[in-house]
Amino acid sequence: MMRGNMRSFGADSVLSVTLILVLSAARAFAQPQRGLVPGFFIFGDSLVDNGNNNRLVTLARANYRPYGIDFPQGSTGRFTNGRTYVDALAQLFGFPYYIPPYARTRGPALLRGVNYASGAAGIRDETGNNLGDHTSMNQQVANFGMTVEEMRRFFRGDNNALTSYLSKCIFYSGMGSNDYLNNYFMSDFYSTNHDYTPNAFASVLLQDYTRQLTQLYALGARKVIVTAIGQIGCIPYQLARYNGTNSRCNEKINSAISLFNSGLLKLVQNFNNGGLPGAKFVYLDSYKSSNDLSLNGTSSGFEVVDKGCCGVGKNNGQITCLPLQQTCQDRSKYLYWDAFHPTETANILLAKLTYNSQTYTYPMSIQQLTTL
């Protein structure tokens, strides 16, 4: 899913900031410049998976209607009604097409970017096993390694030319949500909740993630966006399960992921301060953005921020969207598409807000990252 321990804005400040940012970013989104970056490589989970899970034996699949109901190509395997966050970001980068999934991309097309993301995937290999097969972060990095080897042929074995090319590309990595949702807080299937305190689990996750991101760097990644975990204690899935008295959200989960997020921010600072020479990492604070949208959704045009547009049970969050199920009437008014994932409207808004503003990015905007 989409990411420290950050303060939320007041309603008035969020309204003014949001309107200014959306208006300024809308022009860039409607008329993107061409060729800002030569390639876009994506690693993550179901928030950005665009079809890699379609042929896997897993419950984490979305290649059926009404998923994709608002996407031009229909049900492609995206876990939302239309575009994902990285689809919208690719448009802002100026790509005239959507970055294709690794499962069906080979040859020269690899040069323009590949999406390696897999629904239910996590930083840890066992994460998501409760749902079936998936491609973990370790395997996604290995798949990129194979891509680099294939790309080497198009540069006639000139490693310097390939390295130069990759240094101009943008890399996106959004991991960690499933390590909590489909691992740490699923104690009937996993032992990690008994094996680690929240602090210790965040530490082992960050240790593994550091190694994985360092491997991407060794393979050529230099401009990297890493996302914090979103406020998953407040998604419809948790609202349907949690019966707390002091908060509508499961703050136990939010507190645990905040430990990971604060550590991830420090990791980005370390990478940028010489830990990985020549690299520039941008921390995307999806925890703060999801919190702001939930608290002040009406200022961004959302009328429903606690229920899925499609789903079953309380908050449409007990069971995810079923095949051919009837959806909500106006999908643009919903923050969440199903029990876990944002709607296309939310994804596009977040892409606009994070592209040329530092409201949710550190130490620079994503647009600034493209110019380096």
Among 46, 75, 173, 294, the active-site one is 46
Q: Tokens standing for 249?
A: 């959200």
Q: At what angle do helices 137-154 and 198-218 cross, to 10 degrees?
A: 10
| Residue 177 is a catalytic residue | no
Decide if 3 contacts 286 (C-beta within 8 A): yes
44 has which bridge partners?
174
Q: At what angle do helices 11-30 and 85-93 cross, to 10 degrees?
A: 50
Taking the C-alpha atoms of residue 260 and residue 229, their distance in angstroms, rounded to an integer, is: 8
Residue among 67, 121, 7 at smallest CA distance from 339:
67
- Catalytic one of 45, 179, 285, 338: 338
CA Rg value for the chain:
19
| Cα–Cα distance for residue pair 113/169, rounded to 1 Å | 8
Burial 112-125 (b: 16+ CB within 10 A, else e): bbbbbbbbbbbbbe
- Cα–Cα nearest to 103, from 114, 93, 119, 112: 114
Enumerate long-range contacts of 31-37, CB under 8 Å, 24 or more apart: 32/91, 32/92, 32/93, 32/94, 33/94, 34/94, 34/96, 35/94, 36/93, 36/94, 36/370, 37/93, 37/94, 37/168, 37/169, 37/170, 37/223, 37/370
Among residues 299, 341, 357, 365, which one is catalytic?
341
Supply the DSSP symbol for 176: -
341 catalytic? Reply is yes
- Catalytic residue list: 46, 338, 341
